[in-house]
Amino acid sequence: MSDLIMRWFGDRRNEEVLEMVKQHLELTKGAVRELYNMVNSSTTTNTYKATFYKKISDYEMQADNLRREMIKRLTEKEIFPTEREDLMELVRAVDWVADWSREAARILVILPFEKVTDELKEATIAMAKTDMNTVSVLEECIIELQKNARNALEKATQVELMEEEIDELYQHARIAIASEELTVFNTGQMILLSQYLDAMETIADWCENTADIIRAIAVRTIK
């Protein structure tokens, strides 16, 4: 491990915030996991949508409270400006993952999703599962950053590849919409369906954005 990464993560002030980032990711993982469960359930019934949405909202609100606390800690502590900027960016990027998970769930509550085609159901379930797995790899990426910057770079690349997988699933879902007659949906519901798919894809986008920030930190700490 380089002297720089030893200094960066050996500083208790940075370690404290990074531990909070990991707690934030745990809450975010919970939100994305419940979103996956919600998507699965919604393919057959509307019964449990409100319950899943409440769980996702709770995770997101806890994550948001933790984000505010992290920002407060960063502004109070004497940290090198570059390091403060790194951590601020990291905190905000992770928070967007939780925010977009809640947004996807917010839309899904409204949609009669059990009426979409099987092809579209399969595509969106796959998107939700890949989002969930991507957040898990992102967590590993941050953990590795504290241990070995080169391993963190490899994990960041994995996140990027998984985001590309989401892009392919997103395209598959859009093709399914275009090729099928969803006569049970009115115009407003079709717009919401498109927004829902956008939200699912944006979750992965923000995972990749977060991995890019980790990559930038890791590169600077490698000699």
The DSSP-derived string for 96-153 is HHHHHHHHHHHHHHHS-GGGS-HHHHHHHHHHHHHHHHHHHHHHHHHHHHTT-HHHHH
Token pair of 168 as six digits: 């392919």
Q: pTM of this prediction?
A: 0.88
pLDDT mean over 18-39: 90
pLDDT mean over 173-190: 78
Distance CA 10, CA 170 (A): 41
Helices of type H across the chain: 3-10, 12-42, 49-76, 81-110, 118-145, 149-179, 187-221
- Calculate the dihedral angle through the C-alpha atoms of 28, 34, 39, 42, rounding to the nearest 10 degrees: -150
Of the listed ranges 51-55, 130-134, 180-184, the one predicted with least confidence: 180-184
Residue 14 pLDDT > 70, yes or no?
Answer: no
User: Which fold does the domain 3-221 belong to in CATH?
Assistant: Methane Monooxygenase Hydroxylase; Chain G, domain 1 (1.20.58)
Whether 210 contacts 94, CB under 8 Å: yes
Domain boundaries, the chain: 3-221
Q: pLDDT of 67-118, one tens digit each?
A: 888 888 777 766 666 777 777 888 889 899 999 999 999 999 998 888 888 8
